[in-house]
Structure 1
Amino acid sequence: MKIKDRYVVLIILLLFCVISFFNSLEGLENKFRDTILESENRVDTRVVIVGIDENSLMHLGRWPWSREIHGQLIKRLKEGGAAVIGLDFLISEDIQSTQSTQSHKSIDITKLSVNDTNQDFAFTEVLEDADNVVLPLYGIFPGKTGLGDIKALDVVGPLDIFKKSTRAGHINVIPDTDGIVRKGLLSFEYQGETILSFPWLIYQEYLKNQKRILPDFRVPVDEWNRFYLDFVGGPGEVEHHSYYDILSGSIPKEYFENKIVLVGPYAPGLNDYYPTPLDYQTPMYGVEIHANILLALLGNSFKEEIAAPWLLFILFGFAAGSFFISKRYKPFVSLVIISALILSYFLTAHLVYNQGIILPLVYPTTLAVVIYLIILVYRYLEENIQRRRVTALFGRYVAPQVVEKLLCQGDGPKLGGERRVITVLFIDIRGFTSLAEKNSPEDVVSILNRYLDICTRTILKYDGTLDKFIGDAVMAVFNSPQVLEDHVWRAVQAAWEISCSAQEILKSETAQPDQIIQFGMGIHTGEAIVGNIGAEFRMDYTAIGDTVNTAARLESYAGSGEILLSKASCNEVKERVRTEFYGDLSLKGKARSVPVYKLMGLVRE
């Protein structure tokens, strides 16, 4: 490959660093966190919700209700010893607009009177007497805002008459782009004033009520002053009771002693609900979200994402690990190992999440998978290139099916050669000199190609390797590079078929006397060195050694139409051929004579 895979991996790593910096996969990251990290925990019973539910709407009438009703609820909770009371609904209308929409049903309002015809003034007295009520306000923001620039254009809050008797915190709930609420807004600026969140003010009031000092802990926030919400339970998990049941006395007021009581909408028709990471399908009421924030404050269980240097470290670790594993092991094994590492990482992320640390999930694991796929593609391309090289190397010498088998085996002959038992077949055209004298050069080449084509096709038919043409001679090797259990028998069959083909041409009516040629052949079996022999820039796949020389010597002794076999070759196929002893020949380079046999035919089964 011209471009090294490590360079491509480095580019991908840098790309993921940029993507993670801009949080381009935020939506996918959030989905992974919701699935893997979020889980329900034990709910603190110090927080109780008083819900404006269907039961209360049925008995008290259409929302909104009069100040009298809310005042009576606050009085009962205060008498019961509630530590803090948080009203999670806006009281921003004057009394006339409230009364115009009021319709009471099955409860006598006179019994709920706060003994003052001016309900706003009376409600103010209730707030002053309770001295533990936190009211809400709502910030209105521009459509777009820059990092760190969290300033409201306007706020909708309680009437001025109520502001002197209590504190107000914002109840803004800001879902992510997919509509899921995962973070809370700690505070924002309005006309130079810092507006704290509704739960944060309730928490301060609770500590004040319990005569405790505000702990010195930091709420980790992002660039928009938002903190990650650690939901302790799904919808309905925080203890809740019906607003009407409190007023009617069904639940004793003493039950709320030292508790933080949040009063808010708890009916679908009031349109104050949002999906959360714990349950996309069943929405959570806004008052429940504030309750979860309060529980996080009480338990100091806020979560913080790791710093950028740690993120880069994790990305680099996953990139290096995936690269090493993918290069070191086969694709399936690599996939199993990388999958196991990713699962282990997810488990680790879940464990450290419970300790307040949020690890990135999508960026490192996706990087690992991408690098695995890149290495897989590189392997495929490299194997394809290698396939072409092998095909170019062996395609001229062996049958296409032999090349395919070599490629499928993936473990061809070693570079530089290996020792192997092979059978060597040498074929030489007899009478070629006379043929060249009697025919034109063009005719000689044509005749030679005709006979050599017979040799080539027959050798490849029996899965032999065409080693080389040596003038008018042919050298073939069996059992290399492809392993053949019956390589001797295949070589003998090929030699006999070549001889028969020559005889058929000789007997044909179209054969011209001055163009008739025959073959002399020699076959020997033994050890040889087979492999790529030559220079780095020019090499041939061939066989060298005494086995090759012996086969060549046998061919030189063979007459026209004769096939001579060494004893080593003859012994391997003696049950399948008919032979006659040719004699003990003294071959060049041999200290002892060699017994030689002449092939007379094949024994057909």
Structure 2
Amino acid sequence: MLKFKNREWLLSGSITGIIVVIIFLSPMLDNLELLSYDYRLYIRSLIESGSQDNIVIVEIDEESLEGIGKWPWSRTYHAKLIRELNQAGAKIIGFDILFDFPKGSDEDRELSKQLLESNKVVLPYVLEDKEIRELSFWGLIRSRKLWSGEIKYPIEDFKYNARELGYLNLIQDSDGKVRRIKFIDHDLTPFAIKLAEEYSQEDKDFLAEELLINFHHNENYFKNISFTKVLQGDYPQGFFQGKLVLVGATERTLRDYLITPFSFVKGYLAGVLIHAEIIDNYLKDSFIYNINDLQVIFYLILFSLLTAIIYSRLSPIQGIIILILSFVLIVFTGILSLLNFNIFVPIIPFILISILNLVISNLMAYWEVKDRKEHLQRTFSRYLSNEVIEKVINLPEKDYLKGERREITVLFIDLNDFTSFSERKSSVEVVGILNKYLSVIIDEVLRFGGTLDKFLGDGVMVFFGAPIDQVDHGLRAIELALSLQNKVDNDEELPLSISIGINTGRAVVGNIGSTKRSDYTAIGDVVNTAARIEGLAGGGEILIGEGTYQQIKDSFRIEVKSPVTLRGKLKEENIYKVIREESCNEEDL
């Protein structure tokens, strides 16, 4: 069986885990998590080296626009490019250009002819989408683009003469960045995937409907050449031999630029380069997969339970150290899973769990300390003054309810002739007079910082030196005794004298008893000896043992009585009497 405290922390960890799971399944953390993914992907790209030699990008760049003229160009230039690439040995050609409206019949006829003769060109089409606004479970209004079912194809001749077709649409996340490719329909294939399939002659069956694109930071990862240079034949021999060639705009004025995970270091990226990255991922099997949501939920709950139990055993400072270490471990795991296994593991929910469990742990610890202080307040309020209680509950790292051996000074105070007095009085009078005596005694004990141990009928046991250290416990005991004797002597409502026995020595002090009832008390020979000494004292007398005498002999006038053998002792012991007239006045305290 688990201990109650462990069950309490397990419950706390479970609740925290469930809350974070709900947050994880909502869109609340999406942008922050995606940002963390961007930096992890960037770190991966810095570690990885190499290049993609099978893909060549023919750029419609500033040089091309200056050489050929303002965009859009005559389609005869594209026909010439296909012919040149075909002669140069290109294996597959893809145009990141949507030829969706007819132009001059001659130039359209020329391009259509080259498409048919080459049988190497893959053309794109566009899925027409519609934007919908929806209210999520969290009260957030979100816009989503969905395929309307309509398709914008190239013109008819191009559509049928091309080798294959693929849709050009790229999915943007909520922050506007392109990070993934989505398979919208089983019968429709993304443009870049279709190019990769035709080039590799492989038809890969991906296990997910969405794949994260593994972008590369290296500027020279892909080979590239200007459109005009290809037309002019200005390229090395074998440059296009057996290559997959992508044709697209890289000139910023043509506005085919999108935001990617590396926009914070590379700025916007041309669409043709994003398609090149997708093709590269296909050829190298380097797409990044999302971890299954059910797996994430399982690990979140498990992690929450584990951190809750760990934090419950640590101090706040230790908890902060573990929190920092957990941050490092979580981030390292996120980077490692991306680097070695091509898996995107969310890290923000795990970081959130670490923070929440530490906060909850500290709050629970605070309430435990508060409950402990209240418990000590209730426990010691019967024995100690408020000032002493405050000192006790604020002393750190110590449970004063556990037994410990320490030096204390014990007093026994008794009313003389109370038995015969009570026989002559009514029960109401007896209780009344007893309460008056006990009230005076209690007030004085608390005033001098003593611990009220117990009532013994018409007597009281008091000790000094516990639960807090009092180096002058012997002195305090004598001053309390003198004050009590003076008050009894000078109060006409207190007709009976009191006798006091005091002894100093080591005793075991602590909360002694059962789980149902216990008292904070002292036990040991010093207690028994103090009780025996009080039994020898007469009315108005203060008798002390050897231990107390050694502590206070230079502060008070002391008279040595004859050595006596106390009950239960084998050897004689000196008993001393405190002379009241020469003692310190209580005003000197």
Q: CA deviation at 1:272?
A: 2.7
Q: How is 1:193-592 mapped onto 2 (pairs within 5 angstroms)?
A: 194-207=187-200, 213-214=201-202, 217-221=204-208, 225-233=209-217, 238-247=222-231, 255-280=239-264, 282-307=267-292, 310-354=295-339, 355-407=341-393, 408-415=395-402, 417-429=403-415, 452-499=438-485, 506=490, 513=492, 515=494, 519-592=498-571
Q: Partner amino acid for 1:29?
A: E
CA distance in 1, matches of 2:362, 2:13: 12
**8 Å contact kept, 1:518–1:560:** yes
Tell me the equivalent position of 2:137.
Answer: none
Q: SS of the counterpart of 2:171?
A: coil
Q: CA deviation at 1:525?
A: 1.5
Q: SS of the counterpart of 1:153?
A: strand
Q: CA deviation at 1:183?
A: 1.0
Q: Partner amino acid for 1:260?
A: L
Q: Partner amino acid for 1:288?
A: L
Q: CA deviation at 1:163?
A: 1.7
Q: CA deviation at 1:23?
A: 7.5
Deviates more, 1:162-171 or 1:179-188: 179-188
**8 Å contact kept, 1:29–1:362:** yes
**8 Å contact kept, 1:142–1:153:** no
**8 Å contact kept, 1:172–1:185:** no
**Residue 136 in 1 paired to residue 124 in 2?**
yes
**8 Å contact kept, 2:401–2:520:** no
Tell me the equivalent position of 1:93.
Answer: 101
Deviation string, structure 1 residues 251-275 (Cα, Å, up to 9, x no partner): 5575444333322232344333232
Q: Partner amino acid for 1:45?
A: D
Tell me the equivalent position of 2:139.
Answer: none
Deviation string, structure 1 residues 83-117 (Cα, Å, up to 9, x no partner): 33221121112216xxxxxxxxxxxxxxxxxxxx7
Q: SS of the counterpart of 2:90?
A: coil
**8 Å contact kept, 1:402–1:463:** yes
Give the 3 Å change call, closer, same or farther, for CA 428–72 of structure 1 in structure 2.
Answer: same
**8 Å contact kept, 1:235–1:285:** no
Give the 3 Å change call, closer, same or farther, for CA 293–597 of structure 1 in structure 2.
Answer: same
Deviation string, structure 1 residues 391-411 (Cα, Å, up to 9, x no partner): 110123123343334334342
CA distance in 1, matches of 2:324, 2:262: 25
CA distance in 2, matches of 1:516, 1:236: 108
Tell me the equivalent position of 1:31.
Answer: 35
Tell me the equivalent position of 1:126.
Answer: 114
CA distance in 2, matches of 1:245, 1:430: 123
CA distance in 1, matches of 2:471, 2:350: 51
**8 Å contact kept, 1:519–1:562:** yes
Q: SS of the counterpart of 2:373?
A: helix
Give the 3 Å change call, closer, same or farther, for CA 69–419 of structure 1 in structure 2.
Answer: same
Q: Partner amino acid for 1:49?
A: I
Give the 3 Å change call, closer, same or farther, for CA 398–260 of structure 1 in structure 2.
Answer: same
Give the 3 Å change call, closer, same or farther, for CA 490–163 of structure 1 in structure 2.
Answer: same
Unaligned runs of 5+ in 1: 97-116, 208-212
Unaligned runs of 5+ in 2: 135-144
Give the 3 Å change call, closer, same or farther, for CA 202–73 of structure 1 in structure 2.
Answer: same
Q: Partner amino acid for 1:409?
A: P
Q: CA deviation at 1:62?
A: 3.9
**8 Å contact kept, 1:234–1:278:** no
Give the 3 Å change call, closer, same or farther, for CA 430–48 of structure 1 in structure 2.
Answer: farther
Q: Partner amino acid for 1:205?
A: E
CA distance in 2, matches of 1:578, 1:64: 118
**8 Å contact kept, 2:94–2:195:** yes
**8 Å contact kept, 1:85–1:260:** yes
RMSD: 3.8
Deviation string, structure 1 residues 413-457 (Cα, Å, up to 9, x no partner): 455x44443221223355767988999988987776666455434
Give the 3 Å change call, closer, same or farther, for CA 358–498 of structure 1 in structure 2.
Answer: same
CA distance in 1, matches of 2:230, 2:205: 36
Q: SS of the counterpart of 1:584?
A: coil
Q: CA deviation at 1:171?
A: 1.2
Deviation string, structure 1 residues 126-164 (Cα, Å, up to 9, x no partner): 333443222211111344699xx9865111221111123
Deviates more, 1:238-247 or 1:475-484: 238-247
**8 Å contact kept, 1:169–1:197:** yes
CA distance in 1, matches of 2:381, 2:224: 81
Q: SS of the counterpart of 2:534?
A: helix
Deviates more, 1:30-39 or 1:428-437: 428-437
Q: SS of the counterpart of 1:587?
A: coil
Tell me the equivalent position of 2:140.
Answer: none
CA distance in 2, matches of 1:86, 1:241: 15
**8 Å contact kept, 1:152–1:188:** no
Specify which of 173, 180, 183 is matched with residue 180 of structure 2. 183
Specify which of 48, 55, 76 is matched with residue 68 of structure 1. 76
Q: Partner amino acid for 1:326?
A: Y
Tell me the equivalent position of 1:112.
Answer: none
Tell me the equivalent position of 1:10.
Answer: 14
Q: Partner amino acid for 1:488?
A: G
Q: SS of the counterpart of 1:141?
A: strand
CA distance in 2, matches of 1:5, 1:430: 57
Deviates more, 1:50-59 or 1:474-483: 50-59
CA distance in 2, matches of 1:204, 1:421: 89
TM-score w.r.t. the length of structure 2 is 0.82
Would you say how many aligned residue pairs link Structure 1 and Structure 2?
A: 562
CA distance in 2, matches of 1:350, 1:15: 25
Give the 3 Å change call, closer, same or farther, for CA 515–392 of structure 1 in structure 2.
Answer: closer
Specify which of 134, 157, 170 is matched with residue 153 of structure 2. 157
Q: CA deviation at 1:372?
A: 4.1
Give the 3 Å change call, closer, same or farther, for CA 554–153 of structure 1 in structure 2.
Answer: same
Q: Partner amino acid for 1:333?
A: Q
Q: SS of the counterpart of 2:317?
A: helix
**8 Å contact kept, 1:79–1:253:** no
CA distance in 2, matches of 1:81, 1:17: 54
Give the 3 Å change call, closer, same or farther, for CA 348–9 of structure 1 in structure 2.
Answer: closer
Q: Partner amino acid for 1:467?
A: D
**8 Å contact kept, 1:523–1:555:** yes
